[in-house]
């Protein structure tokens, strides 16, 4: 029972263009959502989050969009840089439980 | 160091042996989590400690897995009678209570069961 799904295992974009990473969830009890970035041999690093009362949150080059009716969120990176090449995980949580459920991850490659 | 520290970074063991993995969370963080990442998979939740509350063990895959957190700080994940399918990277994370899910991860322990 995969409550959080990232259906694209990989994505390749050109430097300077937009990267769009997608995530779908099934549990309507989730009320906050996060994106993490992971480099090889390192732990995931928090990138950006959004609560269910918002539909957009922006931090520099990173913007997360939440569509509650579709149970879908996306991460936009503009402009993409080679240093953004990493595995990106979306995660969802419920403030009732305090724990996160992670997706399978999407490997982003930004080509110079 | 200010971050989450895990040891050992790598562990190779023989099938049937017991292993202990250690996690030192960020000082002052009341919540501590263990996850597992098998090859090509996402992060699988294992167990969650929050302050003095009973831990949420709902993610532990079998009774061979257990974890404890002593004094509200350091945690140890123990796997008894290891199997080859236990081979994975075990990640620990900690967070401040009430920070709505922002967890800070260690670099993980890569466990290989031969």
Best residue of B37, B43, B94 to probe chain A, by most A CBs closer than 10 Å: B43
Residue A20, number of CB atoms within 10 A of its CB:
16
Q: Do B48 and A105 touch (CB under 8 A)?
A: no
Judge: A97–B104 Cβ closer than 8 Å, yes or no. no
Residue-level pLDDT at A46: 95
Tell me the torsion sign for CA atoms B58, B63, B65, B71. Answer: positive
What is the per-residue pLDDT for A69?
A: 95
Residues belonging to chain A = 112
Contact between chains at A98 and B45 (C-beta distance less than 8 A):
no
Structure tokens at A20: 């769009």
Among A7-11, A65-69, B68-72, whose mean pLDDT is lowest?
Answer: B68-72
pLDDT exceeds cutoff 90 at A90: yes
Kindly report whether the peptide bond that precedes residue B19 is cis, defined as omega within 30 degrees of 0. Answer: no
Mean pLDDT of chain A: 94
Query: Which member of B31, B102, B106 has the closest CB to residue A46?
Result: B102
On the question of pLDDT at B100 being above 90, the answer is no
Q: Any chain A CB within 8 A of the CB of B91? A: yes
Q: Does B33 touch chain A (CB under 8 A)?
A: yes
Composition of chain A by helix, strand, coil, percent to 5: 5, 55, 45
Q: Pick the residue with more confidence: A76 or B38?
A: A76
CB contact under 8 A, B45 and A100: yes
* Listed residue (B99, B93, B109) closest to B19, CA to CA: B109
What is the model's pLDDT at position B112? 97
Q: Residues A6, A21, A33, B111: what is their CA dihedral angle, to the nearest 10 degrees?
A: 50
Residue A84 and residue A108: Cα distance in Å, rounded?
7
- Out of A65-69, B13-17, B38-42, pick the least confident: B38-42
Instruction: With a cut of 70, say whether residue B99 has pLDDT above it.
Output: no
Buried b (16+ CB within 10 A) or exposed e, B48-83: bbbeeeebbeebbeeeebebebeeeeebebebeebe
Across the range A7-17, mean pLDDT stands at: 96
Cβ within 8 Å of B, A 14-73: 32, 34, 36, 41-46, 49, 51
- Taking only the tens place, the pLDDT of each residue in B17-65 is 999 999 999 998 989 999 999 987 889 999 999 888 889 999 999 999 9
Q: Which band of pLDDT confidence, cut at 50, 70 and 90, is reported for residue B98?
A: low
A104–B42 CB contact, under 8 Å: yes
Work out the minimum CA distance from A63 to partner chain B, whole angstroms: 17
Residue B99 at interface with chain A, using a CB cutoff of 8 Å: no
Q: How far apart are CA A49 and CA B21, in angstroms?
A: 29
Closest alpha carbon to B67 in B59, B78, B56 = B78
pLDDT tier at A99, thresholds 50, 70, 90:
confident
Determine, for residues B102 and A49 on separate chains, whether the beta-carbon distance falls below 8 Å: yes
- pLDDT reported for residue B71: 81
A79: Cα within 13 Å, side-chain hemisphere? 8
B1: pLDDT strictly greater than 70: no
B20 or B71: which leads in pLDDT:
B20
- Asked whether residue A10 carries a pLDDT value surpassing 70, the answer given is yes
């Amino acid at each position: 029972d995969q409550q959080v799904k990232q259906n694209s295992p990989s994505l390749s974009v050109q430097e300077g263009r937009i990267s769009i990473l997608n995530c779908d969830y099934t549990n309507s009890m989730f009320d906050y959502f996060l994106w993490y970035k992971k480099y090889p041999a390192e732990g995931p690093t928090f990138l950006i989050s959004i609560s269910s009362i918002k539909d957009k949150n922006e931090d520099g080059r990173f913007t997360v969009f939440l569509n509650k009716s579709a149970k879908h969120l996306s991460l936009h990176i503009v402009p993409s840089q080679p240093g953004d090449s990493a595995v990106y995980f979306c995660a969802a949580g419920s403030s009732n439980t305090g724990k996160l459920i992670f997706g399978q991850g999407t490997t982003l490659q930004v080509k110079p | 160091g200010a971050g989450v520290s895990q040891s050992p970074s790598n562990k190779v063991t023989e099938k049937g042996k017991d292993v202990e993995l250690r996690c030192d969370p960020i000082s002052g963080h009341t919540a501590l989590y263990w996850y597992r990442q098998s090859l090509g998979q996402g992060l699988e939740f294992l167990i969650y400690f929050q302050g003095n509350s009973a831990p949420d063990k709902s993610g532990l895959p079998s009774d061979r897995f257990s974890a404890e957190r002593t004094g509200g700080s350091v945690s140890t994940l123990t796997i008894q009678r290891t199997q080859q399918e236990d081979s994975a990277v075990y990640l620990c994370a900690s967070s401040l209570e009430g920070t709505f899910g922002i967890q800070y991860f260690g670099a993980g322990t890569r466990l290989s069961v031969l």
